[in-house]
Amino acid sequence: MSIEKMELVNIAGLTKDLDDVLVTLSECGCFHMESASKIAGKKVGFTTLKEDNPYKPILKQLNDISVQSGRKFRSDDFSDIENESLSKIEQYIINVRQKLDDIKTEAKLADEKLSVHEQAMYQVDHLTGMTVDFQQIFSCENVKVRLGRLPVDSFGKLEYYDDKPFYFAHFSVEKEYYWGMYFVPASHSEEVDEIFDSLYFERTHIPDFVKGNSQQASEELHKMVDEDKKLIEDCRKKYNDYLDKESERLGKIFSKLKSQHDNFDLRNKAAIVNDKFYIVGFIPKNETERFMGLFEGYESVSVVLQPADANGKLEPPIKLKNNKFSQPFSMFVEMYGLPSYNGINPTAFVAVTYTLLFGIMFGDLGQGLVLAIAGALLWKFKKFALGPILTRIGISGAIFGLLYGSVFGYEELLDPVYEALGITFLPFKIMNNVTTILIGAIALGVLIMFISILINIVMGIKNKQLEEALFGNNGIAGLVFFGSILVGAVAELLGVHIMNAVYVIVLIILPLIAMFLREPLACWVKGKKYHMEGGISDFIASNFFEVFEFLLGYATNTLSFIRIGGFVLSHASMMLVVMALSEQVSAAASPIVVILGNVFVMGIEGLLVGIQTLRLEFYEIFSRFYSGDGKPFEPVKINYDENIE
């Protein structure tokens, strides 16, 4: 498990070959392109291409078609339209959009008519029983007629207006309204209208196209609504049929334009001087032979390879190399941040420690196997990134469940198996060994911290960061100090007295002083002169508090691992509660309680343990040797999934 070695690539040639070279680079799948301006800088004659992408407006029109139709364009072979002119393609897309817009306009008009007809139908259907023709009613000159609905609460108040010249006739009653009409002489219409307004009468205006009485009008309106719906459905079918017919050509055009668009954008990363171009980037070292072969047909293009760190202005990108077991855990490393090019790939360490810690805290044979199977299924059918991780940590949980003797919370189920095999030290009963579990959790945490510090020391010496490697809290001085404190404390507990004056001075006080003076000591080792900034008082104060912070860190980081034991006990306790509840219910309900309890514990405990284990990785382990400031290896390619805004 390491970091992929890179080669710095310098490509130069005539500008007439620039577009072809960019196509080759985007198709090779292994070229990480950098901006050549980083190297060219302000050199005389060097310029960068700052051009508007000519393919963007047409692609945006295609994107609009995609969004409006809900159809996603994908990569497709466009070799048969390779030489088709941009103007011809643009005219074709304009015609397609016009056709689709015409169909949409037709559908919109039909939908507007449908809305009007449905509203009229809703109103007329509440006036069933009115045998008089609507046109005859509305043509009266001396009598005004108002159609609508009156709230139920207001209907009873009409008796207060018996002295007024109107008559209200209702045809149907809903939960909250009376539907009907009132008649009023034209000379009193204004006064009566105000009365009905005060009673919250909601007037209905019957459209002019409604003919006949309520029954005739209702039948005609239902017919209109059906015709409107059919027209809308016909438009929808016409729209989809047209898209089906043109989808193949549209897909090819999209692929062609997206390829040209993305390749054209790459031109902005090239440097130009006179009639020549210059491109710089990185490739994995194992791709060198294949990559060089791609340029054998270019007579005017030269490709020069250099070591990845040959140019200090360019930081090599990071591509992690992992085995099959640790590969899924690279997502955690990437979440925290990639290592530097000369750093260490921690994925294998994360894979082992995460799997181990999760298994210890989630120890149950049955639940672990369920988690492993669920992870395998999620990966196979959904390609869920966490699936392979769930499979690995599920198996780990099952193994520790086997050691604990726990199967879906049944703590005695495996006892006969171990007795038959003659194994007396298993199963390891959790609730009978609380102290052992908590001490073991701290011991495991200390071991992991020691390994993390050793990794930091090795990497610090390798990268010549002597201050951290030799005198830092995660260096040799910190390791000696921390280890001596722990060894001395354990020895005292066991009755062995080794904490004498020499032990304390040499292994505790001197490392502490080394951490306090880490900066001047590092300069002395390097043969450089140390320049103190801010005076002696500032130096003493800042270093005192930093060393004090180191001491607190050792204590809190060590105790932080006690959560491993806490979650072991928590998992066992929750299952004890589930088992107790199952015993309190009837025999028929007991299996249901056990199943639901296991599902609940797997969900809650699994989530908590997963988060807490990741926290231990990031805060207690990574913080000792890992910075995560690298940049990812991103080979240039055509991104067919990206929309053009």
pLDDT attached to residue 529: 80
Whether the pLDDT of residue 534 is over 80: the answer is no
290 vs 114, higher pLDDT = 290
Whether the pLDDT of residue 620 is over 80: the answer is yes
pLDDT band of 422, cuts 50, 70, 90 = confident
Q: Which residues contact 481 (CB under 8 A, 6 or more apart)?
A: 507, 508, 511, 512, 515, 554
pLDDT attached to residue 471: 85
State pTM to two decimals.
Answer: 0.77
Closest of 519, 522, 508 to residue 543, by C-alpha: 519
Whether the pLDDT of residue 92 is over 80: the answer is yes
pLDDT attached to residue 320: 92
Whether the pLDDT of residue 613 is over 60: the answer is yes
**pLDDT digits 0-9 by tens, 389-414:** 999 999 999 999 999 999 998 988 88
pLDDT band of 6, cuts 50, 70, 90 = very high
Closest of 283, 113, 134, 144 to residue 210, by C-alpha: 134
Distance CA 145, CA 168 (A): 10
pLDDT band of 128, cuts 50, 70, 90 = low
Determine the longest span between alpha carbons in the chain, in angstroms: 122
Q: What is the mean pLDDT of the chain?
A: 87
Whether the pLDDT of residue 26 is over 80: the answer is yes
Q: Six-digit token pair at 425? A: 């030290």
Q: What share of the chain is helix, strand, coil (3-state, %, to 5)?
A: 60, 10, 25
pLDDT band of 129, cuts 50, 70, 90 = low
Q: Six-digit token pair at 436? A: 């052992």
**pLDDT digits 0-9 by tens, 493-509:** 888 888 888 888 988 89
Asked if residue 619 lies in contact with residue 303, where contact means CB atoms within 8 angstroms, the answer is no
Asked if residue 388 lies in contact with residue 379, where contact means CB atoms within 8 angstroms, the answer is yes
Whether the pLDDT of residue 84 is over 80: the answer is yes
Whether the pLDDT of residue 467 is over 70: the answer is yes
Distance CA 532, CA 54 (A): 58
**pLDDT digits 0-9 by tens, 451-460:** 999 998 988 8
Closest of 266, 276, 265 to residue 12, by C-alpha: 276
Query: In a 3-state reduction of DSSP, which class is residue 179?
Result: strand
Q: Domains of the chain, with CATH numbers?
A: 2-49+270-317 (3.30.70.120), 132-212 (3.30.70.2750)
Whether the pLDDT of residue 642 is over 70: the answer is no
The pLDDT > 70 percentage for the chain reads: 95
Whether the pLDDT of residue 357 is over 70: the answer is yes
**pLDDT digits 0-9 by tens, 282-340:** 999 999 999 999 998 888 999 999 999 888 889 999 999 999 999 999 999 999 999 98
317 vs 145, higher pLDDT = 317
Closest of 431, 335, 294 to residue 9, by C-alpha: 294
**pLDDT digits 0-9 by tens, 156-190:** 888 888 888 888 878 778 888 888 888 888 888 88
Minimum mean pLDDT range among 89-98, 178-187, 586-595: 178-187
Exposed / middle / buried, residue 609 (Cβ in 10 Å: 0-12, 13-18, 19+): buried
Closest of 273, 263, 265, 269 to residue 37, by C-alpha: 269
pLDDT attached to residue 595: 93
Whether the pLDDT of residue 3 is over 60: the answer is yes
Query: In a 3-state reduction of DSSP, which class is residue 126?
Result: coil
pLDDT attached to residue 330: 93
Minimum mean pLDDT range among 278-292, 349-363, 477-491, 522-536: 522-536
**pLDDT digits 0-9 by tens, 545-573:** 888 888 888 888 888 899 899 999 998 89
Please give the backbone phi and psi of residue 308, each rounded to the nearest 5 degrees, phi first.
Answer: -60, -35
Asked if residue 291 lies in contact with residue 28, where contact means CB atoms within 8 angstroms, the answer is yes
Phi-psi category of 172—alpha, beta or left, where left has phi over 0 and alpha has psi -120 to 50? beta
The pLDDT > 90 percentage for the chain reads: 40
pLDDT band of 44, cuts 50, 70, 90 = low
**pLDDT digits 0-9 by tens, 597-609:** 999 999 999 999 9
What is the arithmetic mean of pLDDT over 225-234?
89
Distance CA 547, CA 555 (A): 13
